[in-house]
Amino acid sequence: MGIRVENLQKSYGTEEVLTGLDLDIPDGTFFSVVAPTGAGKTTLLRIMAGIESADGGTVYYDGRDMSTVAVQDRSVGMVYQEFVNYPSLTVRENLASPLEVSDKNYSRDEINQRVEETAKMLKIDHILNNLPEEVSGGEAQRTAISRALIKEPDYLFMDEPLANLDYKLREQLRSDFERLFSEQDTTVIYATPQAGDALAMSTHIGYLHEGKLIQDAPRDEIYFRPRSLPVAEYLGEPPMNLVTGTLVEDATERYFELRDGTRITAGSATGAFPALDAGHDYQIGFRPQDMVYLNGQDAAQAHGEDTVLNMDLAFVETVGSTSTLHLDYDGRELYALNAGPVHASPGAALSFSLDPEKLYIYDAESGDLIAAGNKIPSFTQK
Partner 1 sequence: MKKQYYLILFLVLLMVPIYWMLNMSFKPNSEILQQLTFYPHEFTLKNYQEILSSEFWRSGYINSISMALMNVTFVTITALPAAYAFSRWNFRGDKHLFFWFLTNRMAPPAAFMVPFFILYSNFNLIDTYWAVALAHCLFNLPLAIWILEGFMSGIPKEIDEMAFLDGHSFPSFVWNIFLPLITPGIAVTAFFTFMFSWVELLLARTLTNEAAQPITVTLTRSLGAGGWDWGVLAAAGVLAMVPGAIIVYLVRDLLATGFSMGRV
Find the angle CA(177)-CA(143)-CA(81) to the nearest 5 degrees: 70
Of residues 98 and 288, the one with the C-beta less far from partner 1:
98
Q: Residues 106, 108, 112, 118: what is their CA dihedral angle, to the nearest 10 degrees?
A: 10
Cα torsion at 45, 48, 54, 56 (round to 10°)?
Answer: 120
Strand partners, 188: 30, 156
Nearer to partner 1, 18 or 76 (CB): 76
Q: Is 47 exposed, middle or buried (0-12, 13-18, 19+ CB in 10 A)?
A: buried
CB of 88 to partner 1, least distance (A): 4
For partner 1, which residue of 41, 92, 142, 151 counts as binding (CB under 8 A)? 151
Of positions 14, 37, 53, 87, contacts partner 1 by CB under 8 A: 87
Choose between 22 and 73: whose C-beta lies nearer to partner 1: 73
Going by the DSSP 8-state scheme, the letter that residue 104 receives in this structure is T
Q: Which of 39, 47, 148, 158 binds partner 1 (CB under 8 A)?
A: 148
Choose one: 97-105, 227-235, 299-307, 323-331; the region binding partner 1 (CB under 8 A): 97-105
List phi, psi (to 5°) of 233.
Answer: -70, -20
Which residue from 15, 103, 133, 185 is in contact with partner 1, where contact means CB under 8 A?
103
C-alpha torsion 217→206→3→147, nearest 10: 120
Nearer to partner 1 among residue 16 and residue 82 (C-beta): 82
How far apart CA 71 and CA 50 sit, in angstroms, is: 5
For partner 1, the closer of residues 37 and 297 by Cβ is: 37
CA angle, 34 then 191 then 128, to 5°:
150
For residue 299, the minimal CB distance to partner 1 (Å) is 56
88 binds partner 1 (CB under 8 A): yes
Q: Which is nearer to partner 1, 46 or 204 (CB)?
A: 46
Determine which residue in the list 24, 82, 116, 176 makes contact with partner 1, applying CB under 8 A: 82
CA distance 46 to 80: 10
Q: Binding to partner 1 by residue 92, rule CB under 8 A?
A: no
Nearest distance, CB of residue 287 and partner 1, angstroms: 38
Selection from 15, 24, 19 nearest residue 7 by Cα: 19
Number of residues that bind partner 1 (CB under 8 A): 24
Nearest to 140 by CA among 156, 158, 161: 161
**Is residue 102 a contact point for partner 1 (CB under 8 A)?**
yes
Q: Which of 6, 9, 16, 86 binds partner 1 (CB under 8 A)?
A: 86
Using rule CB under 8 A, residue 261 touches partner 1? no
SS3 of residue 238 by DSSP: coil
- Taking residues 47 to 76 in sequence order and writing x for each that binds partner 1 by CB under 8 A, - otherwise, the string is --x-x------------------xxx---x
Q: Quick check: 238 binds partner 1 (CB under 8 A)? A: no
Binding mask 280-299 for partner 1 (x = CB under 8 A): --------------------
* First-to-last C-alpha distance (Å) of the chain: 18
- For residue 46, the minimal CB distance to partner 1 (Å) is 8
For 334, other C-beta atoms within 10 Å of its C-beta total 23
Q: How far apart, in whole angstroms, are the C-alpha atoms of residue 321 and residue 316?
A: 12
Indicate whether 132 belongs to the interface with partner 1 (CB under 8 A): no
Binding of residue 147 to partner 1 (CB under 8 A) = yes
From candidates 2, 40, 77, 236, binder to partner 1 by CB under 8 A: 77
Residue type at 209? H
CA angle (15 as vertex; 12, 18 as ends), nearest 5: 80
> CB of 170 within 8 A of CB of 161?
no
- Residues at the site binding partner 1, with contacts judged by CB under 8 A: 49, 51, 70-72, 76-78, 80, 82, 84-89, 97-98, 101-103, 147-148, 151
